Amino acid sequence: MRIDIITIFPEMFDGPFNHSIIKRAKEKNSVKIHLHNLRDYTSNKYKSVDDYAFGGGAGMIMKIEPVDKCLSKLKSERNYDEIIYLSPDGELLDQKLANKYSTFENLILLCGHYKGIDERIREHLITKEISIGNYVLSGGELAAAVFTDSIVRLIPGVLSDETSALSDSFQDDILSPPVYTRPRDYKSLKVPDILLSGNEKEIRKWKLEQAIERTKKRRPELLSGDE
């Protein structure tokens, strides 16, 4: 997989992309992540990529010209499955969406800033808008990092135990069951006996029951389909 990220703050990705799962995925060549500084594509001598909004209003707007130039260059080099703008009013990211995009070959992520981006970019240059939640961030970089992590960890071979991702919360529209590790007894707080029984069939049954019960208590809308 190749992911191209268009941003005005490429340094914001140094931390999340150089540690843990994504770092290992890059080392295995399971994913290639390329950062593109949008300021490199502006004709403005001050390297600015924003301007005042027509019609007035508070806040600056990201201009179409540098975005178009960057996208045109990337698209001239390869075909992309999707050009995604990280936006609070896009389709809400969930596990099903992450599963879908983890199978794609080439993706572009556009990180917005300021008051937003010129509407013509949304109407004509991107193919998909994705939100990581019903709230507003200062920019799209954090959202792009979250989206990237959610799909990269699902690429076959990235996790040391590939079955781990299959038991994540939301994979089967339910939350994960509770998990325990050593010691068995800590200050009289004990691990459930069933997990120590060695009976794999009964353990699987217990985990499913616990997952359903946890989902009923914490996220009942998942079971009703009313997300």
According to DSSP H, which parts of 2-153 are helical?
A: 14-17, 20-27, 64-77, 95-101, 119-124, 141-152
How far is residue 56's CA from residue 116's CA, in Å, rounded to a whole number? 14
Predicted TM-score of the model (pTM): 0.88
| Eight-class DSSP state of 194 | G
What is the number of alpha carbons within 13 Å of residue 107 lying toward its C-beta? 26
Residue 166 is predicted with a pLDDT of: 52
The token duo for 4 is 């191209």
2-152 belongs to which homologous superfamily?
A: SPOUT methyltransferase, trefoil knot domain (3.40.1280.10)
Candidates 87, 78, 77; CA nearest to 126 is 87
Residue 160 is predicted with a pLDDT of: 67
Residue 40 is predicted with a pLDDT of: 97
How far is residue 51's CA from residue 42's CA, in Å, rounded to a whole number? 12
User: Is there a contact between 166 and 38 (Cβ–Cβ < 8 Å)?
Assistant: no
What CATH number was assigned to the domain covering residues 167-224? Answer: 1.10.1270.20
User: Is there a contact between 175 and 211 (Cβ–Cβ < 8 Å)?
Assistant: yes
Residue 159 is predicted with a pLDDT of: 86
Domain ranges of the chain: 2-152, 167-224
Tens-binned pLDDT, residue by residue, of the chain (227 aa): 999 999 999 999 999 999 999 999 999 999 999 999 999 999 888 999 999 999 988 889 999 999 999 999 999 999 999 999 999 999 999 999 999 999 999 999 999 988 899 999 999 999 999 999 999 999 999 999 999 999 999 999 898 665 455 555 556 788 989 999 999 999 999 999 999 999 999 999 999 999 999 999 999 998 986 65
